[in-house]
C-alpha cells in the first residue's frame, strides 16, 4: 500500500511540476506543490461540503438524540474526516516528501494542526453564519482561506519538518 501511495504521490507531483516553470521565479517548488495540492483538497472539501449540506443534510437541523446540530456545523463534521485523510496523503506524498519524521509522528502532528484548523472552522462558521448571517458555503470558503495560511507554516515547520533543520 505504501508503494502505491509513493508512486501516486510522485505521479501527482510530476503533473504539478509540469506547470511549475513559469512560477519558479516567484515560489519554491515545495510552496507551489503545497498550493496546488492544497487547492485540490480545498476544492474537494468545498464540493463535498456543498453536497453534504444541500443534498445529504438538506439544510436541516440534525438531531442525534442528546444534542441538536445546525446544518452547516453538521456538514463540517461529516466532511472533516474525509478531507483530513486526503489532505494528509497529499502533503505527505506530494508536498513534504523530504521529511524524515516517522509517518505515525507526522500523522499525530498533522492531526494536531488540523485540530486547530477545526476550531478555527467551527468558530469562524459560527461567527459568519450565526452572528453575521452570511451564507454557509461562502463562509466556509473564507474560513478555509484563513486556515490555509496557518496550515502551510505549521505543516512545513512542525508536521513535516526535516530533522536537523530548525
Q: Is residue 7 over pLDDT 70?
A: yes
Q: Give the model's pLDDT for residue 87.
A: 92
CA distances from 116 to 60, 144, 151, 158 (A): 27, 12, 9, 13
Q: Give the model's pLDDT for residue 2.
A: 85
Name the residue among 80, 83, 85, 79 with its Cα closest to residue 53. Answer: 79
Q: What is the mean pLDDT of residues 80-88?
A: 91
Give the Cα separation of 148 and 77 in Å (integer): 18
**Predicted TM-score (pTM) of this structure:** 0.78
Give the Cα separation of 116 and 109 in Å (integer): 11
Query: Do 117 and 147 touch, CB atoms closer than 8 A?
Result: yes
Q: What is the mean pLDDT of residues 65-77?
A: 92
Q: Give the model's pLDDT for residue 150.
A: 87
% of the chain surpassing 90 pLDDT: 70
Give the Cα separation of 148 and 142 in Å (integer): 10
Beta bridge partners of 68: 63
Q: Give the model's pLDDT for residue 11.
A: 96
Query: Do 68 and 128 touch, CB atoms closer than 8 A?
Result: no
pLDDT in tens, 148-162: 888 888 998 899 988
Confidence of residue 54 (pLDDT cuts 50, 70, 90): very high
Residue 45 cell numbers, joined: 472539501
Q: How far from each other are the two terminal CA atoms of the chain, in whole angstroms?
A: 31
Q: Give the model's pLDDT for residue 164.
A: 67
Q: Give the model's pLDDT for residue 119.
A: 93
pLDDT in tens, 27-45: 899 889 999 998 999 899 9
Give the Cα separation of 9 and 145 in Å (integer): 24
pLDDT in tens, 111-151: 999 889 889 989 999 999 999 999 998 998 899 889 888 88
Query: Do 128 and 154 touch, CB atoms closer than 8 A?
Result: no
Beta bridge partners of 152: none
pLDDT in tens, 102-115: 989 999 999 999 88
Name the residue among 156, 163, 127, 137 with its Cα closest to residue 48. Answer: 137
Residue 95 cell numbers, joined: 508536498
Helix, strand or coil, per DSSP, at residue 63 = strand
Q: Is residue 165 over pLDDT 70?
A: no
Amino acid at each position: 500500500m505504501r508503494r502505491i501511495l509513493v508512486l501516486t504521490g510522485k505521479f501527482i507531483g510530476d503533473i504539478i511540476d509540469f506547470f511549475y516553470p513559469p512560477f519558479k521565479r516567484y515560489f519554491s517548488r515545495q510552496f507551489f506543490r503545497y498550493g496546488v495540492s492544497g487547492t485540490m483538497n480545498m476544492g474537494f472539501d468545498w464540493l463535498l461540503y456543498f453536497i453534504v449540506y444541500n443534498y445529504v443534510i438538506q439544510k436541516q437541523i440534525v438531531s442525534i438524540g442528546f444534542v441538536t446540530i445546525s446544518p452547516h456545523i453538521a456538514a463540517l463534521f461529516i466532511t472533516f474526516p474525509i478531507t483530513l485523510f486526503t489532505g494528509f496523503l497529499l502533503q505527505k506524498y506530494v508536498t513534504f516528501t523530504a521529511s524524515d519524521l516517522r509517518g505515525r509522528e507526522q500523522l499525530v502532528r498533522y492531526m494536531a494542526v488540523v485540530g486547530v484548523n477545526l476550531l478555527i472552522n467551527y468558530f469562524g462558521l459560527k461567527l459568519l453564519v450565526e452572528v453575521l448571517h452570511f451564507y454557509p458555503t461562502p463562509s466556509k470558503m473564507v474560513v478555509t482561506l484563513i486556515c490555509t495560511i496557518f496550515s502551510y507554516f505549521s505543516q512545513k515547520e512542525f508536521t513535516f519538518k526535516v530533522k536537523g533543520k530548525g
